[in-house]
Amino acid sequence: MSLEKIQELLHKHKLVEGMVHSQHTPRQEIVETLVHRQHLAEIESLLKKLPVVEIAAILEALTIDDAKLLWQKTPEERKNEILWEVPDTLREQVAGIQEPDFADSQINAFELADGRLRQVSVTCRKDLDGFQPIWIDLLSASPAERLYVGRHFGLELPDPGDETDLEVSTRFHVEETNDIYLHSNFLLDKYDHSRSVPVAFILHEGILFSLRNEELPVFRLQRQRARTRPGYVTDNFDLLIDLYGADVEYSADSLEDIYRTLSKVGKQVLSEKMSDQEAATVLAEIAEVEDLNGQIRSNILDTQRALGFLMQSRILSKRQVIDIKQILRNIESLNSHTAFLFDKINFLMDATIGFININQNGRVNQLTVLGVVFMPINILAGIGGMSEFSMMTAGIPWPFAYGAFIVGMALIGCGTFIGLKHFESKKIKQVVNGKGRK
């Protein structure tokens, strides 16, 4: 449908252009300009709405002249994406020497040099020619970019976001080509929001491919360590194991932040008084750290599965197996810490809710006291409004009669209030003395 529309617009454009050129009028240039703008504006409007893959298919279906004309009217911001989708032959015919580059994505490629990782700048497809990397890290790569990089190295690179739909048992597997595929969640602990970011790993012919859609502190730390420490990594398995180890360290740092937050919250909860507003703030902080603690526990459990899978594959060296066992011991210690934090969170949650209940009970108690105090006063007020009271005080001037009546009601109210307070204090003393005897 879109191809037919593009062909129709191009045909109209050529037809009207030929008619204008065959006529020699003083306003020929003006008419020609208006006709050009009308048809080309329709083409540009249509190209802005079509997907990149469909535009590439339309370019392949058109003649070379029509494809060149259509390419000239393609919005500049979409040309790079289209170049990834068209064949190289067609690209050279319509775009010349222009090649697609990694515009919005970030590809970090590393090779081993003198026992250290050396980063190689990858901005276009030619940068990958003749390059022997040990690690290729793709950040926010488009499907076309993943397809090209995968074909260049002879494998298929998945979308890390799609891998989250897989069952846990299928996230770690070995293909028939002996390529190892792993999918794990890495913690991204931000001040305003913490979440898990899916990362896909592929071990292929001595190269570690990592694919993710968000930047992670663990990857920045790994790149820095590998560049500054000679002999830190020797192969792609070392890189993968160290990435998992760095994720465990990052989770441990986040647990320390939870400890500090809970210590601050604990001081508020264990204070003598807490208003409802303060309790609401405390509950929000507790809910936030509880969610972060759950994320950490889930991530380290996922890391534990991945490391267990690598050990079962029996393709690691003894040194790498020892490193994995140390990481697993660290994970076990973190599991005990997260369990302790869950208990502490539950205690602080219950204590905070207890303060809220105490505040509510205090308000209900005040209402009860007021109701008891004013109950006899209400009875007397009802009696005072009856006609019998007027008959009883017929010989007394009404200001004195009603004044004495009001004073009597006040004395009765005060007496009731004092009696209630005396009863409460006596009850408290009995409870205290009973505990003292025990």
Amino acid 181 reads: Y
Q: State residue 147's pLDDT score.
A: 83
| pLDDT tens sequence across 132-176 | 889 999 888 888 788 888 888 889 888 887 755 556 667 888 888
Q: State residue 233's pLDDT score.
A: 79
Domain boundaries, given as residue ranges, for the chain: 2-95, 106-356, 361-437
| pLDDT tens sequence across 52-90 | 778 778 888 888 887 877 777 777 777 777 777 777 777
Q: State residue 68's pLDDT score.
A: 79
Looking at every residue in the chain, the average pLDDT score rounds to 77
- Residue 29 pLDDT class (50, 70, 90 cuts): low
For residue 154, count CB atoms less than 10 angstroms from its CB and return exposed for 0-12, middle for 13-18, buried for 19 or more. Answer: exposed
Taking the C-alpha atoms of residue 266 and residue 282, their distance in angstroms, rounded to an integer, is 9
- Residue 202 pLDDT class (50, 70, 90 cuts): very high
More confident residue, 54 or 16: 54
HSE at residue 327, side-chain half, CA atoms within 13 A, is: 30
Are 23 and 16 within 8 A, CB to CB?
no
Reduce the secondary structure of the chain to three states and give it as a string: CHHHHHHHHHHHHHHHHHHHHHCCCCCHHHHHHHHHHHHHHHHHHHHHHCCHHHHHHHHHHCCHHHHHHHHHCCCHHHHHHHHHHCCHHHHHHHHCCCCCECCCCEEEEEEEECCEEEEEECCEHHHHCCCCCCEEEEECCCHHHHHHHHHHHCCCCCCCCHHHHCCHHHCEEECCCCCEEEEEEEEEECCCCEEEEEEEEEEECCEEEEEECCCCHHHHHHHHHHHHCCCCCCCHHHHHHHHHHHHHHHHHHHHHHHHHHHHHHHHHHCCCCCCHHHHHHHHHHHHHHHHHHHHHHHHHHHHHHHHHHHHHHCCCCHHHHHHHHHHHHHHHHHHHHHHHHHHHHHHHHHHHHHHHHHHHHHHHHHHHHHHHHHHHHHHHHHHHCCHHHHHHCCCCCHHHHHHHHHHHHHHHHHHHHHHHHHHHHHHHHHHHHHHHHC
Mean pLDDT of 394-399: 66
| pLDDT tens sequence across 258-289 | 888 888 888 877 776 777 777 888 888 888 88
Q: State residue 266's pLDDT score.
A: 83
User: Any idea which of 64-73, 299-308, 317-326, 399-408 has the lowest mean pLDDT?
Assistant: 399-408
Tokens of 335: 């599991």
Query: Which among 321, 162, 159, 327 has a CA at the least distance from the CA of 247?
Result: 327
User: Any idea which of 78-82, 181-185, 293-297 has the lowest mean pLDDT?
Assistant: 78-82
Taking the C-alpha atoms of residue 292 and residue 289, their distance in angstroms, rounded to an integer, is 5
For residue 213, count CB atoms less than 10 angstroms from its CB and return exposed for 0-12, middle for 13-18, buried for 19 or more. Answer: middle
Mean pLDDT of 413-428: 70
Is the model's pTM score more than 0.85?
Answer: no
Q: State residue 104's pLDDT score.
A: 57
Tokens of 229: 């420490």
The architecture (CATH level 2) of 106-356 comes to 2-Layer Sandwich (3.30)
Q: State residue 428's pLDDT score.
A: 60
Indicate if the pLDDT at residue 210 is higher than 90: yes
Q: State residue 323's pLDDT score.
A: 92
Indicate if the pLDDT at residue 20 is higher than 70: no
Residue 318 CB neighbours (<10 A): 7
With tokens 């409007």, the residue in question is 45
Q: Using CA atoms in the order 172, 173, 177, 179, what is the torsion angle rounded to 10 degrees?
A: 20
Q: Which residues pair with 116 in a beta bridge?
A: 113
Question: ∠ CA(375), CA(381), CA(386), 5° rounding?
Answer: 135
